[in-house]
């Protein structure tokens, strides 16, 4: 078995609406591991890293939907970029251009957003999510991407063959080859809710010239 799906159990109603049905309909062989929402996200994700025993760990928010052929699309992407560090559904490139996964191309990125992340465990080489520096809900995945890219010299890409998008949390997703991020957080709180500005300064100090969403 090659794939493990891991996520934080946070909100039952969101789970039942989005990631739950997506996992039920997912084709292929995979394991599922979860962790309760008792720690900061970076700590939860490190727990999932330690529990993963397969080659690839898929970390998803509960408010993400994905098609039944997701693993097939990830496998196809791997054939084109076999030595990748991380794959994801949305992020920015080195020119700070914003990219969602699309049907017709695979885009190299600088960092990925935290909503969906595929980690190549074979190329992780012991790196973890930084729990000392990023103790809230912002930029811990972007920091992980920076470690994978700048320390381990592995590249970051979107997933090919899937059309990804963002919609409000209660919108229904029916397209067979598309992924949706249904969070209402940004529309309700804006991009800089919480301590985002503080963590952004920390991230840019740790990784000069880093580009993020």
pLDDT in 10s for each residue of the chain, 213 residues: 899 999 999 889 889 989 999 999 999 999 999 998 877 899 999 999 999 999 999 999 999 999 999 999 999 999 999 999 999 999 999 999 999 999 999 999 999 999 999 999 999 999 999 999 987 788 999 999 999 999 999 999 999 999 998 875 444 444 567 898 887 565 555 566 667 888 899 999 999 999 987
* 211 found inside a domain: no
pLDDT at 192: 62
Residue 212: inside a domain, yes or no?
no
- The strand pairing partners of 87, in sequence order, are 118, 157
Residue 96 lies in a domain: yes
Q: Which helix (H) or strand (E) holds 88?
A: strand 86-88
Is 7 part of any domain? Answer: yes
Which residues span the domain enclosing 148?
3-206
Q: Which residues pair with 99 in a beta bridge?
A: 91
193 lies in some domain: yes
pLDDT digits (tens, 9 = 90+) for 20-34: 999 999 999 999 999
Tally of structural domains, the chain: 1
Residue 201 lies in a domain: yes
Q: For residue 213, is it within any domain?
A: no
Q: Give the CATH number for residue 50.
A: 3.90.550.10
């Amino acid at each position: 078995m090659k794939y493990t799906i891991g996520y934080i159990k946070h909100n039952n109603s969101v789970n039942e609406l989005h990631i739950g049905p997506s996992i039920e309909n997912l084709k292929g062989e995979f394991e599922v591991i979860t962790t309760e929402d008792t720690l900061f996200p970076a700590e939860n994700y490190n727990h999932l890293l330690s529990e993963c025993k397969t080659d690839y760990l898929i970390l998803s928010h509960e408010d993400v939907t994905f098609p039944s052929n997701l693993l097939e699309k990830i496998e196809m992407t791997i054939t084109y970029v076999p030595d990748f560090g991380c794959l994801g559904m949305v992020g920015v490139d080195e020119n700070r251009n914003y990219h969602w996964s699309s049907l017709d191309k695979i885009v190299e990125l600088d960092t990925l957003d935290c909503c969906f992340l595929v980690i190549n465990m074979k190329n992780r080489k012991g790196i973890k999510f930084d729990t000392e520096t990023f103790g809230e809900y912002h930029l811990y995945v972007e920091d992980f991407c920076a470690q994978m890219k700048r320390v381990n010299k592995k590249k970051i890409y979107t997933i090919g063959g899937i059309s990804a998008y963002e919609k409000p949390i209660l919108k229904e997703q029916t397209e067979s080859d598309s992924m949706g991020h249904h969070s209402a957080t940004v529309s309700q709180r804006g991009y800089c809710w919480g301590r985002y500005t503080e963590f952004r300064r920390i991230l840019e100090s740790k990784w000069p010239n880093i580009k993020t969403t």
